[in-house]
Amino acid sequence: MSKFPLFHKRKHRVKEIEPHEVFMDNLAQRKEKEFGGSQKRLEISLSPGILRAFSFFVLFAFFILLGRSVELQFIQAERYAALARHNILSISTTQLLRGIVYDRNYNQLVYNSPSYELRFKNGKKDSLNTKVIGEVAEIIGFDKKELEKRLAESGSTEVVVKRGLEHGELVKFKAREGDFPGFFLSSAVGREYRSGEAFSHILGYVGKIDRETLRERPEKYTIHDYVGKAGIERFYEDYLTRVGERIKVERDAAGNIRVEEIIEESQDGKNLVLTVDAELQETVFEKTKEKLKETGSRKAAVVAINPQTGEVLSMVSLPSFDNNLFKVGTEQKVFEDLFQNRDGVFLNRVTSAAYPTGSVIKPLLAIAALEEGIITPEKQIYSPGYITVPNPWNPAQPTIFRDFQAHGWRNMREAIAVSSNVYFYAVGGGYEDQEGLGARRIKEYLSLFGWGEKTSIDISGEKEGFVPTPEWKADALGDIWRQGDTYNLSIGQGHLSVTPLQVANSLSVIANGGKLFNPYIVKEIIDDEGKALSVREPEVIREGFLSSENLRVAKEGMGLATRIGTSASLQALPVSSGAKTGTAQTSKPGINHSWVTVFAPYDDPEILVTVIIEDVKGVTPVATHLARDILLEYFKTE
């Protein structure tokens, strides 16, 4: 027998203790204590499947935790580090007063009028109490509960409590500013405009920044900034905005400022000098308002340009709006009334509305016919007051295209002067022995004059206009192009639509002898000392594309119109002139758009005016009379 009997070898293999047996034994011991020592041991066995599932779950959870750890520490380490830095670092930018805008004679059109906002830092809510809220509410004229609600519901880092503080409110708050922790004053960009309604479609206005602009330019703007929303204010936003220093602020964990550092110096703002003449602009606006009142119409557009350079001298669109209403503090109902106006007060009809032109198209069509050699200036065409086109399906019912009167025999100059429809039906679409240009050649020449495309004027919202073609009609309307479509196009009717600016710019080619300019409205960018930083020179889009002789024929026809034709009332001007009128039919029977384009003096034009008055009853020269009144004032001040 072994000396140590407890450790002698056994002949059979000892069974290893399994983990579940340990668990079960433990359970049995607890039960034994619970029921007494004499109870039989209870053994409950875990199946191998359950144990494997448990092991798999533990392993799966381990790998998830491991993967997440790798993602946080390696894959997204830089992102979370940046977020951590953002918690202690912030960069603020101060928007300064915007640049000034002047007219061509350096008369100031826009003024900065700083206003103040009361704001609250949301991080200071712990310092608020009922007494503080009540006293602040009393100063700014708020209901205490209203102010409490505004502060409680805002999730922004800063809450704009009230914009446009009145002087008394500003003084009262400033005197006790130390008693109101978390509340502070902030200056806002305010703008005042000369003759708001007269200049609103040129200058535009500023408004609260939108999220898209803020997202695109976070380095330049904050959520509290104001930006240009229309007109020059919008188009030249990058020049007019002045940005102060960018300041980096470092805070500790408690939110206290540790370091403030200027990381970018302020950017000097720039001022604009327009091509517009302020006195002429105000004259055009007042004269147009008077003419609308006289005719009962509500809508009109007038543009005056220098045909030798493309400079815009005046641009008026009615109805208009007062851009001074967009200052901080204006009641919300005022804006609601403006935006719900059915006449479209925000629409700049000079650049953003397109119309059928009526007969103002005729000088351009005459030039095209001469360029193509299908007619001579001297050839006469007889107008009995209409033309008749046979109907191949029903000869008893021919199609009749009318003139507004019988003009008799007319050559090209006379046809322009008296605005003979029959003459231009024949030249445009062909009639009897006269070959016509046809729709495609008409489109080609109108495109050369800039119709159907933007002029690229430096103001927001310009519309392209449209010149129809047979292909367009087939695709868009599912119909073929007929000869009647060409006749309508030849007198500026049908699906044609052109902006007043395009009309003015194209007829300037006749006035100046062959140059198509890019019209513009800002001629200089200057600094605060008046030093020119940039000067805009006239830009020729196209020249030498037409015969000077053919241009001269069209110009002579427009000159003849002021002596024996449709613009004879312009003889009242102290200088000679050339003109072309137009009456564009609308969908309303007996209601037309009245057009005219006038340039003067005839030999060396310095101004060209295009007028359209919408929805005029009958055929009346109201547009011509308005242009005459404008030019009488213009040349009176020369």
Q: Name the more confident of 198 and 39.
A: 198
> For the chain, how big is the Rg over CA atoms in Å?
40
CATH number of the domain that 415 lies in?
Answer: 3.40.710.10
Is the predicted pLDDT of residue 21 greater than 60, yes or no? no
Q: Is residue 592 part of a domain?
A: yes
Q: Which domain holds residue 534?
A: 279-636
Q: How far is CA 308 from CA 311, 410, 508, 538, 551, in A?
A: 8, 31, 8, 9, 15
Q: Residue 152: what pLDDT? A: 75
> DSSP for 451-498?
TTS----SSTT----B---HHHHHHHHS----HHHHHHHHTT-TT-BB
Look at residue 483 and tell me if it is in a domain. yes
Please determine, for residue 265, whether its predicted confidence score (pLDDT) is greater than 70. no
pLDDT score of 398 more than 90: no
Q: Look at residue 268 in the predicted model and tell me its pLDDT.
A: 63
Percent of residues, the chain, with pLDDT higher than 70 = 81
Q: Is the pLDDT of residue 63 over 80?
A: no
pLDDT score for 329: 55
Query: What is the b/e burial string over 327-358, where b = at least 16 CB atoms within 10 angstroms of the residue's CB?
Result: bbeeeeeeeeeeeeeeeebbbbbbbbbbbbbb
Q: For 190-216, write each residue's pLDDT tens digit.
A: 889 999 999 999 999 998 888 888 888
With bands split at pLDDT 50, 70 and 90, how would you rate the model's confidence at 478?
A: very high
Domain membership of residue 176 (yes or no) is no
Strands (E), 511-566: 515-517, 522-526, 532-535, 540-543
Is 6's pLDDT higher than 50?
Answer: no
Range 127-131 average pLDDT: 74
Look at the chain and report how many structural domains it folds into.
1
Q: How would residue 13 be classed by pLDDT, with cut points 50, 70 and 90?
A: very low
Q: How far apart are CA 206 and CA 157, in angstroms?
A: 24
Question: Among 26-35, 206-215, 354-363, 489-498, which is the least confidently predicted range?
Answer: 26-35
User: What DSSP element (H or E) covers 595?
Assistant: strand 591-600
Q: Average pLDDT, stretch 39-68?
A: 69
pLDDT classification of 266: cutoffs 50, 70, 90: low
Least confident of 1-10, 34-43, 497-506, 586-595: 1-10
Kindly state whether residue 299 falls inside one of the protein's structural domains: yes
Flag whether 454 is in a domain: yes
pLDDT reported for residue 594: 97
List, for residues 331-387, the tens digit of each pLDDT value: 566 667 777 777 889 999 999 999 999 999 999 999 999 999 999 999 999 999 999
Cα 151 from chain centroid (whole Å):
34
Inside any domain, residue 230: no
In a domain, 192, yes or no: no
**C-alpha 494: how far from chain center:** 28
Higher local confidence (pLDDT), 577 or 126:
577
pLDDT at 512: 97
Residue 27: pLDDT band (50, 70, 90) is: low
pLDDT for res 48: 74
> Strand locations in 189-270, DSSP E?
191-193, 206-208, 226-228, 243-251, 257-264
Instruction: Please say if the pLDDT value at position 437 is more than 90.
Output: yes
Examine the pLDDT at 440 and tell me if it is beyond 80. Answer: yes
- pLDDT band of residue 623 (cuts 50, 70, 90) is very high
Q: What pLDDT band is residue 133 in, cutting at 50, 70 and 90?
A: confident
Q: pLDDT band at residue 222, thresholds of 50, 70 and 90?
A: confident
Is 90 exceeded by the pLDDT of residue 66? no
Residue 200 has what DSSP assignment?
H
Alpha-carbon distance of 411 to 418, in angstroms, equals 11
Q: What is the mean pLDDT of the chain?
A: 85
pLDDT(435) > 60: yes
Alpha-carbon distances, residue 362 vs 16, 212, 377, 629 (angstroms): 111, 45, 14, 24
**pLDDT value, residue 280:** 97
pLDDT band at 3 (very low <50, low <70, confident <90, very high): very low
pLDDT value of position 216: 86
pLDDT, mean of residues 32-45:
52
Q: Is residue 27 part of a domain?
A: no
